[in-house]
Structure 1
């Protein structure tokens, strides 16, 4: 029987990013349709006001029934569009093209009934062309241009029931000149407002897609790092075991047995070796090649206390100012990825400030649904460039190869859990890194953040 093919690392993440890209494009389409609907309502009101002014004030007799029928049909189309598209999230280019072509057809009909090519509002075709150029791809924009040209040629070739006289020599007193001014004002205002809005929608979409593309690149980078780390962890198993055996032999040999200082050095070496084994085990567990147990069920307070105790015991920190202020404890599921993320942040603070590291843990939000960890140090702080590119790979001021990966990995783990990671400088010196995670992402299956709270008798 054929063997099942193993999933490619990162495939699910790439599929999620592609889905987010599609959702972003759809969101821009529906927002553009909403702008067209709003613009069409303004056009209908403007048509009715212009028809009434020309017919009753200027005394130019227009075919009111036919023109009101066109305006009523356009209003019915706009109402149907509003009802149909409001609950939906997807609007494609073809739909936007059809909507613009309906607007071009309605404009052509109204102009044909009210003076044809002699109507000064003929320049409203330019607004339709501009909207098509902004909203649609190149091929669809050319369709709108072609439709507008056909409309103008139709007005030239087929005079309507009304002919408007023009006498530009009269200046502002001439109705044609007045119409030109009104058309110019209307076109410029609508173009500035609505095309500006649409352009902003498209810029937001492009910015979102750029962020997603950057995230995809970072995820691919993490996948490659994970493969390399997993391979290195497998290879490190044998030399670590050999070192453990050698240390055990040295404990029983001269001159180590007769020198307490050497025995103390061996104890320290053994402690660091155990730590290396623990790191290798964590890498293999995270890669799905577990040497230990599955992610453990524990509580938030117990998890944090054990993490802090282990970290302070294996790092040369002089003072760890640990403050846990939780109103109530909650059950969570801990895994090596979550633990390593917090350790990475603490390690960075320790490297900047070996004398003092602060860790403040609180629950934020109305119902305490957000876990907030603030890691502080008393070092020199982040540079402006490091803060601007915070979370990017190899963004480090330490000047060594591979620097800056700890915070990069921590940021991506936080993002995968629905959280966020932010950095800032402290006054007068030092830096702070704040990690915020929704407790729902750490909760036991079937639990929600805030439920099944446990009494935390040992809060500090």
Structure 2
């Protein structure tokens, strides 16, 4: 696959090519104007220095065309190119009447280009340079030897007013163009974020459909296994052997756990499982999650209960699975001790999971909340934090992951209590 250049570098190259094209037009226009004034109007101009200035612009264009193919174009390079254009225009105007030349207004073109193409600070620098050049050309320039029918006298107050008018226009152009550019950039960033969220939502929908289908498909064989294990448990040969009976009971418990997980998947995907929403309390909800997880990882997790007075809620199976995913990640990272701190403010539930494992690699932290970001080399790994972050986002919460100074990681889940609380009867 052919790698595409970064957007910023591509924009810089295109902006440089735009300046090159405009400079070709400027060179052609100035050459035509010089020839028309010299030979059409009969006004004597210093042809050699003016054409030498045009030659410098042509050389700059050729150099920039060659350099553009070798390295990225920076803001400094664009600023330098525009400053050279301002210098060249200043020389041409100095040789042909200064601020009395009607083409002095072309300084505004450089200001507009700077406001659009450069960073704000560089755009303001260009305003200062062009304003200073315009002011200098009002007092220092080479007068044109015009015939009486072309000659006119411009007073000093007019020239000063003309300079002030130019400076005011340049300031307003940069002020409003930079604001418009910033607004457009913010809008593009919002649209990019919305497209990213839409792509993630589509990915979640696909995974949900896959998980729902798999849950339906697995339900039948699990039911058959449960029936078979029930029959085995009643067999005299197994009942008479304590070791076999214990193994069968363990298998029945694991099958029941699998069926419970599948029911949670169907409930999270919006399908009816025959179970009414479970009313419980916040403390009991968290205690049940930890008890189920601790049965598979005995003695690994400890709970710091700072919830205060208990609160009636509706048990959210998706949140329970999200918290289990965080605990699973800590265990798979080699943690020997996991601490769950549960506390709440007036309207927010905060669950902090701290472990002493290997921590979270920097590459995964940089792409937190994206699918398949995992240090585990197995198919399907990396969905735990992705699903957890999206569950919290749907419920109006947030997920934060960081590495601890002493080793291990800390995952903080914040969730508005309104997403779980029972509405009080009125």
**Does structure 1 conserve the Cα–Cα contact (< 8 Å) formed by 2:108 and 2:170?**
no
The reply on whether 1:204 has 2:204 as its aligned counterpart is: no
CA displacement, residues 342-397 of structure 1 (integer Å, 9 cap, x when unaligned): 22222212222352221111113xxx211110112211101110000011011111
The alpha-carbon distance between structure 1 residues 307 and 168, as it changes in their structure 2 partners (threshold 3 A), is closer
Structure 1 residue 404, shift from structure 2 partner: 1.1
Determine which of 391, 406, 422 is the counterpart of 1:413: 391
Distance 1:296 1:124 in 2: 73
Correspondent of 1:433 among 380, 405, 411: 411
SS in structure 1 opposite 2:213?
helix
Give the whole-Å Cα distance in 2 for the aligned partners of 1:193 and 1:325: 53
Q: Match for residue 333 of structure 2?
A: 352
Shift of 1:339: 1.6
Query: What is the aligned-residue RMSD (CA, Å)?
Result: 3.3
**C-alpha separation between the residues in 2 aligned to 1:326 and 1:308?**
15
Distance 1:180 1:291 in 2: 80
Q: Between Structure 1 and Structure 2, how many residues are aligned? A: 297
Runs of 5+ consecutive residues of structure 1 not aligned to the other structure: 1-116, 135-166, 453-460
- TM-superposed deviation, 1:433: 0.9
Shift of 1:302: 2.0
* Residue number in structure 2 paired with 1:402: 380
Which of 337, 352, 358 pairs up with 2:318? 337
Aligned position for 2:140: 171
Q: Is residue 213 of structure 2 the alignment partner of residue 231 of structure 1?
A: yes
Determine the C-alpha separation between the residues in 2 that align with 1:325 and 1:127.
64
Selected match of 1:290 from 268, 272, 290: 272
Task: Describe the superposition over 1:188-229 as per-residue Cα deviations: whole angstroms up to 9, x where unpaired.
Answer: 443444332332222222111111111101111111111111
Distance 1:332 1:176 in 2: 78
For 1:34-183, what aligned pairs fall within 5 Å after superposition?
A: 170-171=139-140, 174-183=156-165
C-alpha contact 1:127 1:187 (8 A) present in aligned 2: no
Measured after TM superposition, the shift of residue 170 of structure 1 is 4.0
State whether residues 317 and 355 of structure 1, in contact with CA within 8 Å, keep that contact through their aligned partners in structure 2: no
Q: 1:309 aligned to 2:291?
A: yes
Is 215-224 or 436-445 further displaced after alignment?
A: 436-445
Aligned in 2, Cα 1:169/1:383: closer, same or farther, shift over 3 Å? closer
TM-score (norm 2): 0.62
- Other-structure match for 2:302: 321
Query: Which consecutive residues of structure 2, in runs of 5 or more, have no partner in the other structure?
Result: 1-99, 118-135, 142-154
Question: Which position in structure 2 is the counterpart of 1:281?
Answer: 263
Query: What's the counterpart of residue 15 of structure 2?
Result: none
2-structure distance, mates of 1:399, 1:194: 52
Structure number with greater CO (CA < 8 Å, separation at least 6) is 1
2:243 to 250, 261, 266: 261
CA distance in structure 2 between the partners assigned to 1:283 and 1:170 by the alignment: 81
Where 1:323 maps in the other structure, the secondary structure is: strand
Contact 1:168 1:174 in 2 (8 A): no
SS in 2 for 1:432: strand
* Change in 2 beyond 3 A, CA 1:192/1:233: same
The alpha carbon displacement at 1:133 in A equals 7.8
Does the 8 Å contact 1:281/1:290 carry over to 2? Answer: no
Contact persistence 1:120–1:183 (CA under 8 A): no
Evaluate the alpha carbon distance shift between residue 317 and residue 123 of structure 1 in structure 2; reply closer, same or farther with a 3 A threshold.
farther
SS of equivalent residue, structure 1 residue 283: helix
